[in-house]
Amino acid sequence: MYLKKSLMLIILLAFSTYSSAQITKTEKDSIYIQQVEGKKKPNKVLHAEPLFIDLIRDLGARKGEKEWNIGLGLADNLKFDAYEALIEYEWAPIDRLGLEVELPFTFYSPQSGIEKDSIPSNSLNSIKIAIQWSFFVSEPMATSMAIGYINEFELSDFRNFGEPFIRANVYNPFFVVAKRWGNNLHSLIYTGPKIEQNFRTNKFYITYDINTSFHHMITGTRNFIGIEFNKTFDNGGFDMTVRPQMRLGISENLLIGIVAGIPVSRENERLSSFLRLIWEPKHTQNTASGNVYKK
């Protein structure tokens, strides 16, 4: 009889501990979401943003928010390796409006047996300027929508730099919709056409991108694991790269994103990798922290 009572007590205690842990996790999520969304105006919804196709500031951005990004990438092609680097600054001059300036570079290294003159030249690819307006933000629906525009001045490579300085322009309007499902699951769609105008020939080249992403945010943090599907439609053709990824908080206002690229239907590209360092100044650190609430 004593043994039965002891076993019953242990079972009840274990169940109670498990329930308490579950409640604690829910509380941690709720507290973190409240920290990000808070009672400040205008309303803002916490979303997990993709790491490769980066947004122009947070959806529902609040005035004064800003962020620096440094990106480093490696793509393995059949004839050469492409090393990518970018410097990016984004900020919100007014509520719900984000602006961005980006400088992307690419450096090339030939594979064994390939002549250096047969591969592309190193380059500052372009000067990108962008704007994004969050026109719909609903905390009850945990949904945000935005429209935006990226203008990309494509530059001549270093081998032909200045001849001309700007060789083409890319017009890229886009639409974004993001939804949080419960406390941890996030989905996002980023889509729009890219229209490239070659100034030398005055011809236009059009592609259409549909980028979808899904993330699971770790309880009480902005750390997440997820996946991006980057899809491009091009004159009847189709390319897609799958990008599993994760983001980790290093300090109160510094995060690191790690991305792998797996091409599904690209003939000339093999595996790739990408690393993004994200730094937010202290006045927004409450939304950037890797661990904002601890048990």
CATH number, domain containing residue 228 = 2.40.160.40
Q: Which of 127, 82, 129, 124 is nearest to 105 (CA)?
A: 124
Highest mean pLDDT among 2-11, 73-82, 145-154, 235-244: 145-154
Contact yes or no for 90/69 (Cβ under 8 A): yes
> What percentage of the chain reaches a pLDDT higher than 90?
62
66 within a domain of the structure (yes/no): yes
Please give the tally of structural domains in the chain.
1
Query: Is the model more confident about 235 or about 153?
Result: 153
Average pLDDT, the chain: 85
Domain coverage including residue 211: 2-287
Look at residue 159 and tell me if it is in a domain. Answer: yes
Residue count of the chain:
295
Evaluate if residue 288 carries a pLDDT over 50. Answer: no
Going from the C-alpha of 160 to that of each of 47, 70, 105, 114, the distances in angstroms are 42, 26, 15, 21
In a domain, 292, yes or no: no
In angstroms, the CA 285 to CA 48 distance is 16
Cross-strand bridge partners of residue 129: 101, 151
pLDDT at 289: 38
